[in-house]
């Protein structure tokens, strides 16, 4: 009998849902709004309603379960420990959704789950040990060890955006610390680096007098604008050095770069790789760098895979 699994990616404004077969083919894909009011108490019931609606059209016994990715620390038992974007406190996503749907549920942090998705069907296919870094508004990370998510003791595994990389920083990161990787290598961080360089000198640049963004910086890098190139160099050093440190811990086969910033393409890797190779332990030098290929769907793929890989109790 054909088996089906649902993959759910809970975001701050929309919930993405996908129906997959066990081979990773997406059969259906849709979205519902995320209702964050009332401490996010409607989110899981809304998801359950939407899945129940789809289940009407397939044999209920063929549904293996539901995987969920959500922003925030989620431990290996499926308990979320505060997800501020969703209004959630601490409770079991797994137990709550299992009670609503009466099928097995697994839950994980969205960045970790996206890494699992890229390993399964995306830029990390064929790898069992993988680092994924998501360069968006922040820097998210997901570490896959021997095919499984590194969850960590409290669900904060793979939080590589908050590695300390700069002692001299004076502005605070969202997390409260100073000098986090996220402050230099996210879309916001790249913009900040460029604006700092623009402010520090009167140097000519195509970026001057326009709104600076990660996209405009890398467009200017492609046009060989010196100030943009200097920005990209700084970005690449922070990220390449950090990835080298992570690789000393993890010894990965592949490093996958995703998130909005990765739309700049292979040029991104050109700025990261030299710093990585200079500083990494020789046992991890031969890593494969690749760009994520699943885009915004990485979360639903990974959530489905998380459920398929669950250990049966």
- Which residues of the shown chain bind a copy of itself in the complex (CB under 8 A)? 73, 76, 81, 127-129, 141, 143, 145-146, 150-160, 162-164, 175-177, 179, 241-242, 244-246, 248-253, 278-284
Q: Please give the Cα distance from 246 to 4 (Å, whole number).
A: 35
22 versus 249: smaller Cβ distance to a copy of itself: 249
CB atoms within 10 A of CB 199: 8
Query: What is the closest distance, in whole angstroms, from the C-beta atom of residue 77 to a copy of itself in the complex?
Result: 12
18 versus 155: smaller Cβ distance to a copy of itself: 155
Non-local CB neighbours of 191 within 8 Å, separated by 6+ positions: 212, 213, 214, 217
Query: What is the closest distance, in whole angstroms, from the C-beta atom of residue 73 to a copy of itself in the complex?
Result: 6
30 versus 281: smaller Cβ distance to a copy of itself: 281
> Dihedral of CA 69/156/236/217: which sign?
positive
202 versus 283: smaller Cβ distance to a copy of itself: 283
3 versus 81: smaller Cβ distance to a copy of itself: 81
DSSP class of residue 311 equals: P
Query: What is the closest distance, in whole angstroms, from the C-beta atom of residue 279 to a copy of itself in the complex?
Result: 4
Query: What is the closest distance, in whole angstroms, from the C-beta atom of residue 32 to a copy of itself in the complex?
Result: 29
Non-local CB neighbours of 37 within 8 Å, separated by 6+ positions: 87
134 versus 284: smaller Cβ distance to a copy of itself: 284
Q: Please give the Cα distance from 159 to 139 (Å, whole number).
A: 8
27 versus 248: smaller Cβ distance to a copy of itself: 248
Q: Please give the Cα distance from 212 to 206 (Å, whole number).
A: 10
17 versus 287: smaller Cβ distance to a copy of itself: 287
42 versus 128: smaller Cβ distance to a copy of itself: 128
Contact predicate 272/239, CB 8 Å = yes
Q: Please give the Cα distance from 259 to 33 (Å, whole number).
A: 21
Q: Please give the Cα distance from 183 to 190 (Å, whole number).
A: 8
Q: Please give the Cα distance from 195 to 227 (Å, whole number).
A: 10
Query: What is the closest distance, in whole angstroms, from the C-beta atom of residue 158 to a copy of itself in the complex?
Result: 7
Query: What is the closest distance, in whole angstroms, from the C-beta atom of residue 128 to a copy of itself in the complex?
Result: 7
Contact predicate 165/241, CB 8 Å = yes
Query: What is the closest distance, in whole angstroms, from the C-beta atom of residue 160 to a copy of itself in the complex?
Result: 6
Within the chain, where are the H helices?
A: 37-40, 43-55, 93-101, 110-121, 182-185, 187-200, 214-222, 226-250, 267-279, 298-308
Query: What is the closest distance, in whole angstroms, from the C-beta atom of residue 285 to a copy of itself in the complex?
Result: 10
Closest CA to 140 of 188, 178, 92: 188
């Amino acid at each position: 009998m054909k088996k089906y699994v649902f993959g759910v990616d809970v975001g701050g404004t929309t919930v993405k849902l996908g129906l997959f077969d066990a081979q990773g083919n997406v059969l259906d894909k849709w979205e519902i709004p995320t209702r964050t009011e009332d401490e996010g108490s409607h989110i899981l019931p809304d998801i359950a309603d939407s899945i129940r609606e789809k289940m009407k059209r397939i044999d209920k016994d063929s549904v293996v379960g539901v995987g969920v990715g959500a922003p925030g620390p989620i431990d290996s038992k499926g308990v979320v420990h505060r997800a501020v974007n969703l209004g959630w406190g601490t409770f079991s996503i797994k137990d709550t959704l299992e009670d609503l749907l009466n099928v097995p549920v697994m839950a994980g942090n969205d960045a970790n789950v996206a890494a699992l998705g890229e390993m399964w069907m995306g830029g990390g296919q064929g790898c069992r040990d993988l680092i994924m870094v998501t360069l968006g508004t922040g820097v998210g990370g997901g570490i896959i060890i021997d095919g499984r998510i590194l969850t960590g003791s409290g669900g904060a595994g793979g939080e590589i955006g908050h590695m300390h990389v700069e002692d001299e920083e004076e502005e605070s990161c969202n997390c409260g610390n100073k000098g986090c990787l996220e402050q230099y290598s996210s879309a916001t961080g790249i913009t900040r680096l460029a604006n700092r360089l623009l402010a520090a000198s009167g140097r000519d640049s195509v970026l001057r007098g326009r709104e600076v963004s990660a996209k405009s910086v890398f467009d200017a890098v492609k046009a060989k604008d010196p100030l943009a190139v200097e920005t990209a160099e700084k970005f690449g050093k922070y990220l390449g050095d950090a990835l080298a440190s992570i690789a000393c811990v993890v010894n990965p086969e592949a490093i996958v770069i995703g998130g909005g910033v990765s739309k700049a393409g292979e040029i991104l890797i050109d700025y990261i790789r030299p710093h990585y190779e200079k500083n990494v332990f020789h046992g991890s030098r031969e890593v494969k760098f690749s760009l994520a290929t699943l885009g915004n769907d990485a979360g639903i793929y990974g959530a489905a895979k998380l459920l398929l890989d669950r250990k049966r109790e």
